[in-house]
Structures are given as structure tokens and as C-alpha cells.
Structure 1
Amino acid sequence: MVHSCHTTLIPESVTNHVKPRQITIIGGRGRMGKFFKEQFSAVGHNVRVLEQDDWEYADQLLNQAELVLISVPIKYTVDVIQRAAKYLASTTALCDITSIKTQPTQAMLEYHPGPVMGLHPMFGPNIKSFLGQKVVVCPGRNENSFQWLLDFIKSQGVEVIACTPEEHDRMMVFVQATQHFLRFSLGVFLAQTRIELDRSLSMSTPNYRKEIDILKSLFSQNPNLCVDIMLATEERCQAISSLANTYSRLARLVARKDRTALIQEFENTQGFFKEEKHYSPTLPTITKKDNKRDFEPQMHFNT
């Protein structure tokens, strides 16, 4: 059974004696795929890659794998799961690292009878190691088959957070989608103003410098990744629209110089952030009856 945990570090001597596993990464030449390939290979696992032009070799790349990890853009994930599943042995552990979890997990459960788990690394491909990072884990079926994988990433300094796919997707509306929109908008605004960025940094606060660093990191990525994160689900689009409406409402108060109303908004929000809520995540397992949940697969495969 997988449990929520705090970061644990295991000595390097332990990771040097892991049992080599046969791993295939679909999308392993993408930036995140490359990162996982490097991390697995560094401790002795045998890692192979399947890309768009390799499907004629899918049987030999997938059939003998102990773990198949899917690392493709969000809009192709369900199609790739469906396409790959026909080549997998019933004992193959199948997981994805997409930033949405409900549809991919449902698809894996539907198309693959073996072990299934959804992972979401809460970091981008610019990092150098797992140390100090978080990975969200959404169990699907036979999670014991993934214990070696979870033990490995925890040994590298990862904090594992367990939740259902549905809770993950609700949280990512705020953790990812609205944050991307907020910073995407600010970056576009700063570019439109033609601000002298270096000059502004020379007289900036620490918080401003941190924000500019985050913006630089965001805009150094592939634009498709940022846009897909914002557009991934209807819930994300609706939340971003609601956030934009909030901006507009507050901007109107600023335009009217309505000091009283702005202070009232601030005080109302203070109350929210002063509330202390304690949450202890549990780890429900998705059962067969849950496999019937409706979802709309996106039928456009092209990695």
C-alpha cells in the first residue's frame, strides 16, 4: 500500500544495489521523458524509448517491460494509452506523468488489465535531480507492483503525496492552471509595457526578483506546455474565466479609487487565510465498479 510521506533520503550505497528493471518510456526523448530516463539509467535500470516513429517496434519495446511510463502531451495521452495497451503483458505496470489524472487513470484502467498508477511530478524538466521535489500519486490497481518505483523516487529525496485522480484534478485547477494564467498574463503585460527589466531588478524587492525568476522560467518553456496546462479541462477554463472576472471587478474599484471597497475586499480575504484547516489525506483504491466513470477520450494521436 502507498502512503503519504515526508521526504526521505536513503544513502547512495542503497540505490547502487537496486534490482535492474526493464523500463520503456513512451515519449522518452521529450524533456520530461529524458529526465526520467536519466534518473532511471543512473541507478542501473534498463531504459528504452518509444517515440512516434517507433510503433512498428512496439511489441518488442513494450511486451517485455516491467514498467511502461507515458510521457506525452496532455492531448495525446489517452490515445497513446489505448494504442500501447494492446502490446502490454498483463503483469506490466503502466503509469503516466500527465498533469491531469482523471481521464488518463480511467483510460489505463479501461484498456489495461494489469497494474495501473497515475503520477504527476510537481516540477518541470529544468531540474537536475529528484531531490526536494514532490510527486503526486493516484493509485489505480495493484499498487504493490509500483512499490519499487515509489521506493526509488523516495530514496532520491522525493515527497510522495497520495490522492484520488478526482481530488488531484480539482487541486490542479488552482495549483497549476490559474497560476499559469496569472503569470502568463503578467508576462504578457510586462512585455507590452516594454519595461526595462534589468533596471527594474536593480531596485527591486526580494519578492519581485523571485516573481521575475518564475516568469523567466515559465517563458523559457515550450509554449504548448503552458497553454495545454491552462486548457486541459473545462474546469480549468472556467476557473481562469472566473479569475479574470475577479481581476476586472477589483480593477474597477481601483479605477473608481474606491478605498473603502478595496479595504473591505482585503479584510474579507484576510479571514480566509487566517483559517487553519488540518487535512489528513487517505488513499482510496479505485475499484472495478469505478472503471465505468464516463469520460471523453481525445482522438488525435500525434506525439
Structure 2
Amino acid sequence: MDSPRGSPIPGEVRDMAELERLRREIDEVDEELFRLFFRRFQLVEEIGKIKKQNGLTLTDERRESEVRDRWRSLAKKYGIPEVLADNLLNTLFSVSKMRELNPSSKRRITLVGYGGMARSLASLFRLVRHEVVVTGRNDSKAKSLAQEFNLAHMPMSQAFQWGELIILALPPEGVKSDSLERTLPLAKGRVVMDILSSKASLFAGLEELSARHGFRYVSIHPLFGPYLYPVGERIAIIPSSTSGDVEEVVTFWRESGLVPVLTSLDEHEKAMALVQVLPHFFLMGLNAGLDSVAKELNVDYSRFHTTNFRELHKILKRIKDLEGVIMEIQSYNPYAGEARRIGVRELYNLFSRLEGDKNDSVRLEDRK
């Protein structure tokens, strides 16, 4: 017998009741997950105190590798996709490092600049609760960045006298500007740091200015891109002849959540030729090559992205977005030309070997 129009049949009623019961159980499981997350973060904070007492960095790559391997094993055991375990663990690592942050003292920081890296550092300092003033030549842009993270803003002359640590989050032309050179004498007795990717062209000039005007110059290079809350990332620290006790700077960055890498100017420039100049050079070439080959073969390859290519394509998009900064590094690094020449030579060797293998196959077919 049919049910009256609009009335659910008995089987549907049972199904809806079961659906609601399962949803309530999911809600209970979710609450249990958050209770366990909270407990995990409590343990993380205890670990952070021990690390701080023993001068250890937030990031322990060996331990992170062990945890990742264990999570992947557990994902396999319970039939959960590895990608879910990896993505969740990446977020947990990031938040855990934030919970470990507990600097021994709050510092007064003058942040000069308002670009992507200035924004990244502003987010980090806000997280650590340092006192920060944002300043720069463009007053409205400096105010805008300060407001975004609820920081203070001052004119450059006032900000340089207020801060203990002055960070020049500026491109080369900003570091070389007349307005900065006029303001730097106000930094007497303070620590001044630039964040330039390539140091060789301006390091000596800033070192000379520091000796003349009595400020301590330490060059730094954040080894990460312009994104928010870069806790656990590395930062290169390059002392100059006027740095004084550079351990103060190392401790400041370690307690601000980054992993200091102490290095010399020459070692830094050579390393950047390897990890920045050469990869960027090839990736810019790959971007151009993809466009040219797609045009000549008359194919839309966007429908055929493999998993690996999809990840690579994200990187290629970032390369296009950062082309100005990348070309700056290509121009200023003293080892850039040598790195590119060696890279092209090895690429041509690979090309010749592959073409040779193809020709050998053709010749083998001819002999059959």
C-alpha cells in the first residue's frame, strides 16, 4: 500500500534516523580530535621550554622526519590516504612551532619597508609579540602594513632612534637611496640588518657606513619566500667587521622562531648561486620553453597535468610572479654568470647524450 503523498515511507524514516545518529557520532569524534590536538599542543609547549633552556632551535629535522615516517605508516595501517596525513602533519608542525615560541625578552624593532618580505617579517614579529614600528619612504604604505598587523608607525627619523634593531626590508635601490643614507646616522649604537638576497654589491658600502656612523651592521638573508608566519624557516646571518657580538643577533632570530645559519659573505654568495640563481634560471627557461613548444606543437596541455607537473606548475607560476626579484638576484650575484654557464654546459651535455642515443637507435634500425 502506498504512503500518503508527501509522507516518508518507513524505510526512509529509519535511514534518516540512522543518518542523524552517525552525524552525532562524527560530532563526538571531532570533539575528541580537538581535545587530543589541545593535549598535543600542551606537550609541544613543554618541549619548547626544554629547547629554550638548552639553546635548541625550534626545527628538529631528524625528529620531523621520524614523525612523518610514523604518520605515513599509521596512514597505511588504517587505510587513510598519505596525502591527508602529510597535509595535516604540515599544519601541525607549523602550529606547534608557533606554540613553542617564547622569547626571553621583547625587543624594539624598526622595520623599514612594506613589500612582501616586510609583511612576512611583520607577521612573525607580531606572533612573537615584539614591539615593532613600521616605517619607510612611502608613509601611506608603511601605515597600511602597520595597521594590518596592529603595529605602530613612525616617520623614518623617529623610528631609527626608537628601535634597538633596525631591519632594512628593502630592494637594492632602496638600500642605495639618498633618504636612507641621510637617516642611517640616527642608528648610532643600534644593530642594522639588511635582507638582500645578493650581498656582494652593497655589503662593503653598508659596512663602511656602519664604521662611519657607529652602528653595528649584520647582514641577514631570510631563506624563505614572502609568506605569513614563517616559523621554523632558516635565516642566513653574515657578520661584518662592525657586528660586535653576533650571538645576540643569532639568539634574537632563534627566539623569534627561525633557524639561524651563520656564514661568511663569500660562502653565502656561492650558495645562493646554487640554490637561487641556477634553479631560477632553469625555471624561467622552462616557462619560456613550455609556451614555445605548446605553440609550435599546437596543443593545449592544461588538460593533461600529471601529479608532479601540477606541483611544478605552481612553482612556475610563483617564478613568474617574482620575476623582478629573481632578475635582481641574477644581476647582482657575483657567481651568477659562472653558475649559468656551467648549467647550460651540463644541459647541452644532456641534450647531446639524448640526441646521440636517438641517432644510435636510428642507425641500429638501419642495420636490421
Preserved contact between residue 4 and residue 162 of structure 1 (Cα < 8 Å): no
Q: 1:7 to 1:230 in 2, by over 3 A?
A: same
Aligned-pair CA distance for 1:66: 0.5
Question: Aligned match of 1:119 in 214, 220, 225?
Answer: 220
Q: Which residue of 2 aligns with 1:59?
A: 157
Q: 1:217 to 1:18 in 2, by over 3 A?
A: same
CA-based RMSD of the aligned residues comes to: 3.1
Question: Aligned match of 1:173 in 251, 261, 273?
Answer: 273
Aligned-pair CA distance for 1:18: 5.1
Question: Which amino acid letter does the alignment assign opposite residue 186 of structure 2?
Answer: Y
Preserved contact between residue 239 and residue 264 of structure 2 (Cα < 8 Å): yes
Is the aligned partner of 1:39 residue 2:117? Answer: no
Preserved contact between residue 122 and residue 133 of structure 1 (Cα < 8 Å): yes
Aligned-pair CA distance for 1:248: 3.3
The runs of 5 or more residues in structure 2 that have no matched partner are: 1-54, 61-95, 143-153, 361-368
Question: Aligned match of 1:196 in 300, 310, 326?
Answer: 300
Aligned-pair CA distance for 1:149: 1.8
Q: 1:249 to 1:11 in 2, by over 3 A?
A: closer
Q: Report the Cα distance in structure 1 between the residues aligned to 2:352 and 2:110, rounded to whole angstroms.
A: 53
Q: Judging by fraction of residues, say which structure has more helix.
A: 2
Q: Report the Cα distance in structure 2 between the residues aligned to 1:186 and 1:208, rounded to whole angstroms.
A: 12
Q: Report the Cα distance in structure 2 between the residues aligned to 1:215 and 1:131, rounded to whole angstroms.
A: 24
Q: Which residue of 1 aligns with 2:205?
A: 107
1:22-101 equivalences in 2 (<5 Å): 22-27=108-113, 29-54=114-139, 57-79=155-177, 82-90=181-189, 92-101=190-199
Is the aligned partner of 1:138 residue 2:227? Answer: no
Preserved contact between residue 115 and residue 145 of structure 1 (Cα < 8 Å): no
Asked which structure has the greater CA Rg, the reply is 2
Identity %: 19
Q: Which residue of 1 aligns with 2:325?
A: 225
Q: 1:192 to 1:98 in 2, by over 3 A?
A: same
Preserved contact between residue 178 and residue 243 of structure 1 (Cα < 8 Å): yes
Q: Report the Cα distance in structure 2 between the residues aligned to 1:163 and 1:102, rounded to whole angstroms.
A: 14
The runs of 5 or more residues in structure 1 that have no matched partner are: 261-303
**Number of aligned residue pairs:** 247
Q: Report the Cα distance in structure 2 between the residues aligned to 1:131 and 1:38, rounded to whole angstroms.
A: 10
Q: 1:188 to 1:4 in 2, by over 3 A?
A: farther
TM-score w.r.t. the length of structure 2 is: 0.59
Q: Report the Cα distance in structure 1 between the residues aligned to 2:239 and 2:313, rounded to whole angstroms.
A: 36
Q: Report the Cα distance in structure 2 between the residues aligned to 1:186 and 1:107, rounded to whole angstroms.
A: 36
Aligned-pair CA distance for 1:132: 3.5
Q: 1:47 to 1:6 in 2, by over 3 A?
A: closer
Q: Report the Cα distance in structure 1 between the residues aligned to 2:278 and 2:177, rounded to whole angstroms.
A: 26
Question: Aligned match of 1:213 in 314, 320, 325?
Answer: 314
Question: Aligned match of 2:252 in 122, 125, 149?
Answer: 149
Q: Report the Cα distance in structure 2 between the residues aligned to 1:107 and 1:238, rounded to whole angstroms.
A: 24
TM-score w.r.t. the length of structure 1 is: 0.70
SS in 2 for 1:227: helix
Q: Report the Cα distance in structure 2 between the residues aligned to 1:13 and 1:244, rounded to whole angstroms.
A: 44
SS in 1 for 2:303: helix
**Which of the pair has the greater relative contact order for Cα pairs under 8 Å at 6+ separation?**
1
Aligned-pair CA distance for 1:24: 1.3
SS in 1 for 2:162: coil
Q: Report the Cα distance in structure 1 between the residues aligned to 2:352 and 2:247, rounded to whole angstroms.
A: 54
SS in 2 for 1:7: coil
Q: Report the Cα distance in structure 2 between the residues aligned to 1:130 and 1:45, rounded to whole angstroms.
A: 15
Q: Deviations over 1:154-191 (max 9, x none)?
A: xx2x3221110110001111110011001111011112
